[in-house]
Structure formats: structure tokens, C-alpha cells
Amino acid sequence: MKKEFSLLLILFFLILSFVISKCKSPVNNESYAEPDTIDIFEYNKELGRGINLGNALEAPSEGDWGVTIREEYFSIIKKAGFDNVRIPIRWSAHTSVDSPYTINHNFINRVDQVLYQALNNDLKVIINVHHYNEIMENPDEEKAKLYSIWRQLSSHYQDFSVELSFEILNEPNDQLTPELWNVYLSDLVEIIRNKNSMRPLIIGTASWGGLSSLSDLDLPEDNRLILTLHYYEPFQFTHQGAEWVDGSDEWLGTIWRNKAAEVQSIVSDFITIDQWAAANNIPVFIGEFGAYSRADSTSRHLWTERIREEAESRNFSWAYWEFCSGFGAYDDQAGQWRNFLLNALIPE
């Protein structure tokens, strides 16, 4: 009798473990099936409206910059009406010093936990390589490490649902010139495609990921790419009082009131993006846009609404920068959305 009870108990826990894995894992859930092909324009449409979980996993260590990702964030984001979350990650701070630059086991497990929470809330997820400052300063010396990071990530996530997309590198700049970035980009797409043939890949421009280097970007031959651009214009408005920008206190008081001249500058930029994307047959994701909290709330609302409208009128997907820090649409201390921003992003 005791032996039979023990066997039943073991069987019970095996079944329970199987059920839990089915419910929690984006690898094994019923919604996942490796597709034969992907319509990348349709995928980008479904990517829709999103928000960045900034100042968390791209800090030197999570929590250093005041944000630790909590599970309830994803249900809050989903219930507000967002479709995607972009999760910036500083992988370069969590590898071994020497080749093969192995990613720390505990760190990648933490990232996995965050991904499970997002995917289980029916959100599309974008992960990237963020704040890899060393490769911007010394690309030749850091190239092997960046390539190793993507070999590891490509292998680790190869069986995850395509609801997870990869953004290859955030805002190449400095010594990682447009010409050099084109070479690295082509190599990295090939590395990732070795084990992720169908996964959407998001690629940006050099010179800080903005419009200025769009014409310098050479697209690899691949029909599952999405172009990303970051938009913070006019910079003296969006970054007034930003502590990390030299001289930004002089810009305090800069307003934005949706006047014709202000709007025309933005429209012109978005027309340029749209025309380039159409000529190159690639969909567009505005991966970052936002105005810092030291701008007045009326200006922030009007500017944010305008950027969202210009993006959506051209079928661009987007992700606001960011959830609950200096640009934050959500007040984490009060436990509520800043309605003047949420209404600009998700109109009623």
C-alpha cells in the first residue's frame, strides 16, 4: 500500500510539473509553432503600440538606476492597451572577461523570467544589446565579444516563440561608424540566422540610431528585417534638464505647442523615413521616442501624441521611452499611469 501511494505521489508531481511547464514556458506553450514563413509587414502591424522597460536590465546591475522589473508590470502594460514591450539589456556587463565571453547563468535566467512574464501576458517582446559602450569606443577589440553574445543568444532562444524578436544593437555610435556598422550588421544577421531562420530581426542606424545616418545603412539581403529609428526631435525640447546631457539646463522652459512650424519639421522627417522604407521594402519600428519629465506636461502630451499619430498614419509600429523612470508614462510610486501621457499613447 505504501509503495503504491509513493508511486501515485511521484506520478502526481510529474503531471504537475508538465502542466506548469506548459503554462509558463514560451518554448512549450500551445501558441508556439515554428512558421514556414513570416509576412514581416503583418508582423510589424501586430507589433503595434509598445513601451520600453528602460533603466532596469540595461543598468550595470538591475536596480542600480531605480527600476527593478516586477511581474505585475506586464499585466498593467497589457491592460492599458499596449501590444509590445522592448526590454533593453546590457549583456556586455554580464559575460566572462575572456573568450568565449560566456553569459552569466544567473543573469540569463533572470532575463528568461522576465520574458516568460511578458509573453504570458500576450505581449510581443523585443530584446536587444543595449549600452555596450565599449564597442562604440573600441569596435575592433570588442567585435569578438559582440559576435559571441549573439551566438549564445541565438542558440539559447532558438526554440522560443517568434513573438520574441531580436534587436541587434542599440544606437551604434562613435568609432562604430556607419561603414563599419554595415559590416558588423551583415555578419550578425548571418550568425543569428544560423539558428533562428524565421525570427524577426530589428536593425537600426549608426550615429545614435537616428535619421541622420539612414542613407548610410546597407540592408542585408533578408526578408524578415524591421528598420528601427529613435526619434527625439527637437532635442532641446525632449532632453531639457536631462542630467546626462551637458548644457541641458539652459534648455529648461522650452515648450512645444503643436504649431504649424513645429509639426512640419516632424512631418518632413517622417516622410523621409517612410520614403526610404518604401524604396527598400522594409517595415518601420520607432523603437524610442519620449520627452523628459522636466518639460511641462502639456508640451509632453502634445508632442507625444503627434509622434504617435505620425507613426501610425504610416503603419509604423512603436515603443515609447519609457515605462516608469525619467520619461515614464507610469508613476510607480503612485501605482498609476500619468494620464496625460497614456492618453497621448493609447487614445480612448
pLDDT value at residue 34 = 58
The answer to whether residue 24 is domain-embedded is no
- Specify the CATH number for the domain of residue 161: 3.20.20.80
Note if 171 is an active site residue. Answer: yes
Q: Is residue 156 part of a domain?
A: yes
Alpha-carbon distance of 47 to 227, in angstroms, equals 13
pLDDT on residue 37: 85
Q: Is 29 a domain residue? A: no
List, in order, residues 6 or more apart from 290 with CB less than 8 Å away: 232, 238, 304, 320, 321, 322, 327
Q: Decide if 33 is inside a domain.
A: no
Domains contained in the chain, number: 1
Give yes or no for a contact between 287 and 230, defined as CB atoms under 8 angstroms apart: yes
- Residue pointed to by grid coordinates 527625439: 232
Cell for 290? 519620449
CA 177-182-183 angle, to 5 degrees, is 100
What is the C-alpha to C-alpha distance for residues 130 and 18, in angstroms, rounded to an integer?
35
Mean pLDDT, each 10-residue run in order, the chain (348 residues): 46 41 43 71 98 98 98 98 98 98 98 98 98 98 98 98 98 98 98 98 98 97 98 98 98 98 97 98 98 98 98 98 98 98 96
Q: What is the C-alpha separation between 180 and 122, in angstroms, rounded?
A: 37
Which range of residues forms the domain containing residue 203? 40-345
Is 288 a catalytic site residue? yes
Using DSSP's 3-state secondary structure scheme, residue 337 falls into strand
Q: What is the pLDDT of residue 83?
A: 98
Q: What is the pLDDT of residue 330?
A: 98
Residue 217 in domain:
yes
Active-site residue among 58, 163, 167, 171? 171
**Is 15 inside any structural domain?**
no
Q: How many CB atoms lie within 10 A of CB 33?
A: 8
Q: How far, in Å, CA of 330 to CA of 205, rounded?
A: 29
Asked whether residue 207 is assigned to any structural domain, the reply reads yes
pLDDT at 35: 67
3-state class of 5 per DSSP? helix
Cell representation of residue 177: 561608424
165: helix, coil or strand? strand
- In the set 288, 310, 312, 322, the catalytic residue is 288
